[in-house]
Each structure stands twice: as structure tokens, then as C-alpha cells.
Amino acid sequence: MTTVESAVRTPSVLPPAMPVDLVAAGVVSAAGTGLQPLADALRQGAAAGGRADAEEGEAYPPMPLLAADFSPADLLGRKGLGRLTRTDRLGMAACALALAGADDPDGTGVVLGTSVGSTGGIARFTRETFVQERPYLVNPSDFPGTLMNSAAGRTAIRHGLTDTNATLSGGPLSSLYALRFARNALLHGHARQLLAGGVEELSPHGAWAWHRARVLAPGTALGEGAAVFALRRPAGHGSGQAPLARLAACEAGFADPARGPLAVGLRLARCVRDALARSGIAPADVAVVAPGAAGRRGWAAVEERALRTVLPPAPGRHRLRVQAVTGETHGAGVALQLAAVLARWQDPHTDAGRERAAVVTSLSSDGAVGCAVLLRPDAAC
Amino acid sequence: MSEKSADDGRRVVVTGLGAVSSLGLGARDLLSGIRAGRSGIGPIEQFDGAGFERTRAGEVRGFRPESHLTGTDPERWGRSGQFAAAAARMAVADAAADPAALSAGRTASCFGTTNGESQVLERLTAQWVAGGLSAVDPELAARADAGRIAQAVSAELDLGGEAVTVGTACAASNYAIGYGYDLIRTGEADAALCGGADASNRATHAGFHRLGALAEDVPRPFDEDRDGIVTAEGGAALLLEPLDAALARGARIYAEVLGYGMTCDARHMTNPDASSIAECIRRAHRNAGIKPGDVDYICAHGTGTRANDSTETAAVREVFTDRVPPISSIKSMLGHTMGAAAGFGALVCCAALAEGFLPPSATLRRLDPALGPDLDCVPGQARSARPRVAQNHGFAFGGNNAITIFGEFRA
């Protein structure tokens, strides 16, 4: 292992990470709407899930599914709902909840991660080009929903948010990229507050691809959901809204899986070490670990091995099994892992009062790796 | 000119350009086509054009990924990823940068896209239509994620830094360049390959077709008779490095990245908004530390639709008031390359600053008088000039606007 590690890279020394605060959260998952249902489900180790979006004439494959349990009409109103894709609905609902929890909407933008956008919306729209009498006889009002930036753009319209509006993609790292992009934009004055997170929808089209690829670990459900956080630069003592948590570091890297899974695992381990070093957190202070690849055949073990080298199992270090509750949520994964940490920390029924720091990791079969370090607000001050 | 202070972090320069375009493979071929005002538009070949009333597109012809990719198996990637990886490989070669050094450092890959791996999604849909959802090919499905575009670049060049794909539609490359610029400025990255890629595909063509946004013949940005866009494809890549590192290795420097700005219209998903674009220009100027009077050239979003060109011109007039700099659209030659469009714009801006020319609006015949007086859209062919600051526009569905600013670099 050391030969691979030492033979590879000698990058420059990283500066300390600049933290940002999470002042509000909007969560839509199989556990329900908000953090408390997620905390309840995490304690129980399972969620019932909602009803998967029905698709005319298209059945889901025979695999476990965990749909988000939410009412789009209650959260977004009925007007114009029919035009929205499932991704639009999930993303807009989570953004609306996060914005409602923030004390000041001025100077706000939106930064969302998603793997391809609406898999169902893209598939249905493209299908029309094959089956209509003329290939261009598509429904024009469905066109914007086929773009990855639809949910972010529609959220901006709904709430009049004219600041930085971006959409990022990178498989299960999508939400982490959104957080990194948002942090950068905040620190360089492109926005005062950003609603940042990720969204992923369940559709029969996507589900069949997952089913046929057989990449999920036995017993892992395919899930969906969205988690969005209102992010701000840390305020001075006693000013501004009290944060839910501080994002102390947020690292990302890549290793080509063609070089073997070991290279990807080593790159993740270095990512975790960098994230801890840059946030000034000792491994011993990490009380919660939420891995992202836990539901993926083969890759779960690669992630575990990487975590063991930096954060070996220790008394008092809790492993948060997010996928058991949300299912595999791909582009929304990191955001829902962070939401799960927040849910645990605010849950009156969980004895987590002494937990200071949490590490969220993710790794994709395409070679992208990432790690976020979350600090409890009292520990962050 | 630029009033940036040392507190703004490291200076960032562009040292390499790479292009996979309808005007040729490699930045040199693209640029000679641009300077001559050539058209890259022809009949659709990437999908079956039967049944469409508009059957022209700006497609990349004769692209054999295996001739360009040396670090990764082309078969692993969709056409968009192949475009990005090939363009990035070309940019590294153009920069005469040491690939081993890029690989050893913390080099990021930041690429924008509108439709991701659209040809993969199109083939999956065709399989669904032909044999039902249970017939979709899992190997093909594994290549569908848009995020694989930046990852293809990282795999090709064996990069260990962040590999992020930006999905802010047709402005995406500018977001990617701005983000890569910040990563280097702040020391998060040692270098960055930035740009964008998209592939010609059926769904995009159908969508714009149905909106009535496709030109009958060629796009004619700023022309009185302009009638829309022509869908197009390609990949553009820029190598961004810290100035000190570029100087230390004696690199040729095309231009300095001065800054960027972003806004969101928050009004309509498909109609552009002049006041939001004007604000985006102001933010880009502020971030770059320049004043409107410093700008010598605007590489327009310039799609050739009636709405875009009039809205964009109105926004420019709002900021530049009495003196609008020359403004032209390279989409007159390339068509609308979607997520790669702002990347091509950035590439051409850097070359214009380094080599002293203004890119043309090649298809412009009669300037639209409704766009107002004293508008220089550089008709026909490129013009010799010495621009010192170039402003590159990228606007998108979803109201996503991003503008990058490049400055001449003098040693």
C-alpha cells in the first residue's frame, strides 16, 4: 500500500480550510419531511418510505425501493405542479424548507447537486422524439425539466433568488461538489447565503438501470430524496442566526479506478486525512462516521478499508447507517448523509450530547472521492 | 487596468488551449477557422435527422477518440466525456506542460455541460422504446452520469484533484472556469483543466425545434433576419495555472483570468432578462477589478435568436452606456455548442488577447437596426486589433448567467 501511496503525488501543502455554517436544513427523504422523522428512522434503523411516482405503463423492477415520503402539493402548492419533474418537486421542496428555516432570505442563491437531473423526465421527453409522428412533436413545456439545472432555476423563480445559481454533477459526489462550490462562492462574496445540497429522483427508467447493473449490495433499497442547507459565512460571536452545525472542511479528489480499487481507496483515505488536518480536528474527536458507499457492492469494502486506516473503530465512535433509512440516493447521497448527522445531533431521544465532530465520506465507482467534516455548533465556537 | 490587490490571492493565467470542434481538431485549426469566418455547420450525422424540418447542425466530423486519448480507454466514456478528455489532452500539449507534474500536483478538472452524456441517454431510451425498460444495457447505463465528463479528463491525465462537472446548461463552462480560477487563486488547486463539452443529440434538437428556435440555414447573430440557433457540439479546454508557476517554467501565457460574475434571472426558465444580465456584467467587472471602459471586446452569448441578441445588447448598453465595445458571436460559425459554448468563447478570447484580433460575427449581413446605433459586431472575418481586456458571456435556461473576464498578460 505504501509504495502506491508514496510513488504517486507530492502536491503543495493545503491552506487551512475556510468553514461555513449550516443555519437551516430542508430534508425530504423516505423517512418523511424534516430532520426529526429522519432521526426517528435512524434510531429504528429503517424507514417505511412513501409511494414511488407511478409511471403510466412502466413498472418498477423487482428490487427494494424507498421513495421519499412527502406531499409536493402541501409544500409547493398545486399550481403548476403538473409541469414539474420529480427532481423539480424534491429539490424545490427541500429548498423551500431550508429557506423557511433561515431568518433572512436577502442575497440568497441556490447550488444543487444531481447526477443527471430527472431520469424520468429525460427518458419520457426523449421517447417522444422516437414515437411521435414527427420527432420534434415533443411537449415544449417539458423541455426545461430535462436540463440538470431545472430544479435550481425553478427554485430561484419561486422565491425570487437572483444570486449565484448553480448545479453540479458527479455521481454520489454531486452534493459534495455543490457544497464545495457554494462554500467557494460564499467566501468570495458571490452570495451572502446559499441553499446548497442535492437531489435525486426515483423513476422506473433509473431503477431498471440500477437493477440490471446489479451494483447495489444485497438488501440495499434504491432510494430518492433531497437535502438542502442554508449556508453562510460564520458570523461573529452573538450575531446572526445560530448555526445547526459548521462545515469545517469539504475535500474532493479523484483516482482512476482503472488502476484498481486500491488506488481509489487510498485517495479517499488521503482525502479524509486532509479534511481532518485542514479543519484542525484530531481523529480521536470524530464521534460519528457516515459512509456513502455502504450500499454498493464491492465499493462498500473499499470505503471501509480507507476509513479504518484514518478512523479505526473506537469506543464512542458511532457509525451512522444512512442507506438503511434513505436507500441508495446517489446524487443526493452526501447531502442526506449530512442531514442524518444533523438529525442525530438535534434528536432529543439520542444520547449524542458529547459528540463534537462527524465525518461524511463518499466514493464513486468512477473514481471520485470526497469527505466532509461537520462540527457541532457549541464545538465550533 | 485591473485593480486587484495582493489580498486577492495568486494570479491565474491560461497557458494551454484545446478544442474538439466543427472547425477542426485542436485550438490552431479552430482559431484559423474562426479568423477566416468559416462555418462548421452541415447536415446532421450524429442522429437520424429524418422527420425534422431543420436538419443542420454544427457537428464534429472525423473525430476518432483513439487518436487523441492516450491515458484512458475511449470505450469507457460517452461522446461528451471523450470530447472533454481529448480537448484537455490537447490543452496540456499546447501548454507544453509536463503531464507528470500535473498528475503529481493537485490538479482539478472542472467542465461544464448542458446535456451530459446525451447520446448515452438517447441510446438507452431507444433500447427502452424497442424492447421495454428491462432491455436497457447496464454497461451503457453505467456511462450515463453527467459527472463523468470531468472524470474522463481526470482519468485521461491521471489527475488526483477534484473532478467536478457543472450542469448550469449553456453557461456551464463559465461557471467551471470561474470555479477553477478560484481554486487556484486560493491554493486549493495547483492547476486546473477547465472548459465544457456537449454532444449533438436528438432530444436537444427536438426541444429547440419545438420551441421554434432553430434557424433554417445558419445562425445569424445580430442580423436583422436572424431566425434562431443551430444545435452544435464540441469540447473546449483551458489549462489554468498560477502565474508564478507558469513564469517559472517559461510557459507561453495566452491571458490572465481577471475574474467572473454570476447572477440568476429568477423570472423565467427560457426567456433571458436584460437587467439580470447587466447585473452579471457589473459583478464580473467588480470581481475582476475593472471598469466598463477597460473592456475592449465582448464575446457575446449571441445565439442568433431574436430574444437573446436584443436582450443581450440591451444589457450591454445598460452597463456600457455611451461606448459599447466591439461585440461578436462565434456561434455564427460554430452554432450553439451548448455546455461547451462559453468554453469556446473563453478559448477564443484568450487567443484574441494573445494574438491580437477580434473574432467575427461571420454570418452577419444586415445589422439589426432595432439593436440601436453604433454597434460593432465585427462582420465577416476577424479584424486585427490589440484588445487588452475581453469579456466572455454565457447565459442559460434556468436564468443562469455567468461572465468571465480575461486580460492581456504582459511579462
- With 0-12 / 13-18 / 19 or more C-beta atoms within 10 angstroms meaning exposed / middle / buried, residue A187 is middle
Quick: pLDDT tens for B292-338.
999 999 999 999 999 999 999 999 999 999 899 999 999 999 999 99
Same structural domain, B209 and B271: no
Q: Within 10 A of B279 (CB to CB), how many other CB atoms are there?
A: 22
Residue of B170, B349, B350, B377 with catalytic role: B170
Q: Extract the C-alpha cell encoding A140.
A: 415544449
Question: Which of A114, A205, A254 comes nearest B154 by C-beta?
Answer: A254
- B267 CB neighbours in chain A (<8 A) are 157
Q: How confident is residue B3, by pLDDT bands cut at 50, 70 and 90?
A: low
Same structural domain, B229 and B277: no
- What was the pLDDT predicted at A8? 38
**Domain-located, residue B3:** no
**Domain-located, residue B51:** yes
| Angle, helices A333-346/A174-187, rounded to nearest 10 degrees | 80
Q: Extract the C-alpha cell encoding A124.
A: 419520457
Residue B295: φ, ψ to 5°: -80, 125
Q: How confident is residue B195, by pLDDT bands cut at 50, 70 and 90?
A: very high
User: pLDDT at residue A239 above 80?
Assistant: no
Residue of B336, B349, B350, B377 with catalytic role: B336
Contact B400 A12 (CB under 8 A): no
Domains delineated in chain A: 20-232 (3.40.47.10), 245-380 (3.40.47.10)
Question: Which of A147, A163, A212 comes nearest B169 by C-beta?
Answer: A147
Same structural domain, B268 and B203: no
Quick: pLDDT tens for B342-384.
999 999 999 999 999 999 999 999 999 999 999 999 999 999 9
Domain end, chosen from B248, B282, B309, is at B248
Chain B residue with the nearest C-alpha to that of A107 = B263
Domain carrying residue B280: 259-407
* Block residue for cell numbers 441510446: B123
Q: Extract the C-alpha cell encoding B29.
A: 485549426
Same structural domain, B126 and B265: no
Same structural domain, B201 and B282: no
Contact A212 B134 (CB under 8 A): yes
Which residues does residue B298 pair with via DSSP β-bridges, in sequence order? B327, B391
Nearest to B391 by CA among B251, B232, B283, B303: B283
CB proximity under 8 Å: B 171-210 to A? 175, 179, 182-183, 186-188, 190, 202-203, 205-207, 209-210
Chain centre to alpha carbon of residue A50: 19
Collect all residues with Cβ–Cβ distance below 8 Å to A379 and sequence separation of at least 6.
Answer: A356, A357
**Domain-located, residue B129:** yes
Residue B116 touches chain A, beta carbons under 8 Å:
yes
- B122 CB neighbours in chain A (<8 A) are 126
Domain end, chosen from B221, B248, B275, is at B248
User: pLDDT at residue A2 above 80?
Assistant: no
Q: How far apart are CA A56 and CA A70, in angstroms?
A: 21
Chain A residue with the nearest C-alpha to that of B122 = A126
Question: Which of A164, A173, A252 comes nearest B262 by C-beta?
Answer: A164
Our CA-based measurement puts residue A12 at a distance from the nearest CA of chain B, in whole angstroms, of 7
Quick: pLDDT tens for A43-69.
999 999 998 877 667 999 999 999 999
Q: Within 10 A of B189 (CB to CB), how many other CB atoms are there?
A: 28
**DSSP per-residue letters across A277-314:** HHHT--GGGEEEEE-SSTTBTTHHHHHHHHHHHHS---
Nearest to B258 by CA among B178, B313, B204, B338: B178
CATH of residue B78: 3.40.47.10
Question: Which of B124, B133, B147 comes nearest A169 by C-beta?
Answer: B147
H-run or E-run covering A196: strand A193-200
Nearest to B267 by CA among A87, A156, A141: A156
Collect all residues with Cβ–Cβ distance below 8 Å to B223 and sequence separation of at least 6.
Answer: B304, B363, B364, B365, B366, B367, B368
Contact B133 A61 (CB under 8 A): yes
Pairing of strands A357-363, A318-319: unpaired
Do B316 and B327 contact (CB within 8 A), yes or no?
yes
Contact A12 B125 (CB under 8 A): no
Residue to substitute from B10, B168, B231, B265, interface A, most A β-carbons within 10 A: B168
Question: Which of A116, A258, A364 comes nearest B144 by C-beta?
Answer: A116
- A11 CB neighbours in chain B (<8 A) are 104-106, 160, 190
Contact B125 A130 (CB under 8 A): yes
Q: How far apart are CA B168 and CA B198, in angstroms?
A: 12
- A213 CB neighbours in chain B (<8 A) are 138, 141-142
Domain end, chosen from B248, B271, B291, is at B248
Q: Extract the C-alpha cell encoding A305.
A: 478499508
B301 in active site: yes
Chain B residue with the nearest C-alpha to that of A263 = B160
- Distance separating the N- and C-terminal Cα atoms of chain B: 15
User: Can you give the length of chain B in residues?
Assistant: 411
Collect all residues with Cβ–Cβ distance below 8 Å to A350 and sequence separation of at least 6.
Answer: A39, A42, A43, A344
Quick: pLDDT tens for B86-97.
999 999 999 999
Q: Extract the C-alpha cell encoding B43.
A: 447536415
Amino acid, res. A159: H
Our CA-based measurement puts residue B174 at a distance from the nearest CA of chain A, in whole angstroms, of 11
Quick: pLDDT tens for A240-295.
889 999 999 999 999 999 999 999 999 999 999 999 999 999 999 999 999 999 99
**DSSP per-residue letters across B266-329:** -S-SSS--HHHHHHHHHHHHHHHT--GGG--EEE----S-HHHHHHHHHHHHHHHTT-PPPEE-
CB proximity under 8 Å: B 338-367 to A? none
Q: Is the pTM of this model over 0.95?
A: yes
DSSP A236: P
Pairing of strands B255-264, B12-21: antiparallel
Chain A residue with the nearest C-alpha to that of B213 = A140
Contact B145 A136 (CB under 8 A): no
Q: How far apart are CA B79 and CA B85, in angstroms?
A: 10
Contact A117 B167 (CB under 8 A): yes
- What was the pLDDT predicted at A136? 98
Question: Which of A116, A162, A190 comes nearest B145 by C-beta?
Answer: A116
Which residues does residue B24 pair with via DSSP β-bridges, in sequence order? B21
Chain centre to alpha carbon of residue B116: 14
**Domain-located, residue B253:** no
Same structural domain, B39 and B158: yes
Q: Half-sphere exposure of B342 toward its Cβ, with a 13 Å CA cutoff?
A: 34
Same structural domain, B99 and B226: yes
Contact B206 A136 (CB under 8 A): yes
Residue A308: φ, ψ to 5°: -60, -35
**Domain-located, residue B349:** yes
Cα–Cα distances (Å) from A76 to A73, A111, A149, B293, in that order, read 5, 19, 18, 45
Contact B203 A122 (CB under 8 A): yes
Q: How confident is residue A231, by pLDDT bands cut at 50, 70 and 90?
A: very high
Same structural domain, B204 and B132: yes
The average pLDDT across B106-112 equals: 98
Contact A136 B186 (CB under 8 A): no
Question: Which of B147, B203, B283 comes nearest A115 by C-beta?
Answer: B147
**Domain-located, residue B340:** yes
Q: How far apart are CA B176 and CA B192, in angstroms?
A: 10
B209 in active site: no
The average pLDDT across B2-29 equals: 87
Same structural domain, B202 and B310: no
CB proximity under 8 Å: B 30-59 to A? 50-53
Q: Extract the C-alpha cell encoding B392.
A: 466572455
Same structural domain, B223 and B284: no
Residue B77 touches chain A, beta carbons under 8 Å:
no
Which residues does residue B401 pair with via DSSP β-bridges, in sequence order? B263, B395
Residue of B301, B349, B377, B393 with catalytic role: B301
Same structural domain, B23 and B123: yes
Same structural domain, B160 and B40: yes
Contact A58 B133 (CB under 8 A): yes
Q: Where does A21-166 have alpha helices with state H? A: 35-44, 72-76, 86-101, 119-131, 150-159
Q: How confident is residue B265, by pLDDT bands cut at 50, 70 and 90?
A: very high
**Domain-located, residue B6:** no
Q: Residue A351: left if φ>0, alpha if ψ -120 to 50, beta else—which one? A: beta
Vertex B258: Cα angle to B382 and B175 (nearest 5) = 85
**Domain-located, residue B347:** yes
Contact B209 A136 (CB under 8 A): yes
Q: Within 10 A of B104 (CB to CB), how many other CB atoms are there?
A: 17
- What was the pLDDT predicted at B329? 98
Contact B202 A180 (CB under 8 A): no
A-to-B residue pairs, Cβ atoms closer than 8 angstroms: 290
- What was the pLDDT predicted at A51? 87
Quick: pLDDT tens for B51-83.
999 999 999 999 999 999 999 999 999 999 999
Do A256 and B158 contact (CB within 8 A), yes or no?
yes
Collect all residues with Cβ–Cβ distance below 8 Å to A351 and sequence separation of at least 6.
Answer: none
Quick: pLDDT tens for A157-169.
999 999 999 999 9
Quick: pLDDT tens for B283-305.
999 999 999 999 999 999 999 99
Positive or negative: CA dihedral A58, A205, B168, B37: negative
ipTM over 0.95 threshold: yes
Contact B202 A181 (CB under 8 A): no
Q: Within 10 A of B262 (CB to CB), how many other CB atoms are there?
A: 28
Over B344-395, what HEC string results? HHHHHHHHHHHHCEECCECCCCCECHHHCCCCCCCECCCEECCCCEEEEEEE
- Number of structural domains found in chain B: 2
Do B156 and B66 contact (CB within 8 A), yes or no?
no
CB proximity under 8 Å: B 224-243 to A? none
Positive or negative: CA dihedral B253, B254, B256, B262: negative
Q: What is the mean pLDDT of chain B?
A: 97
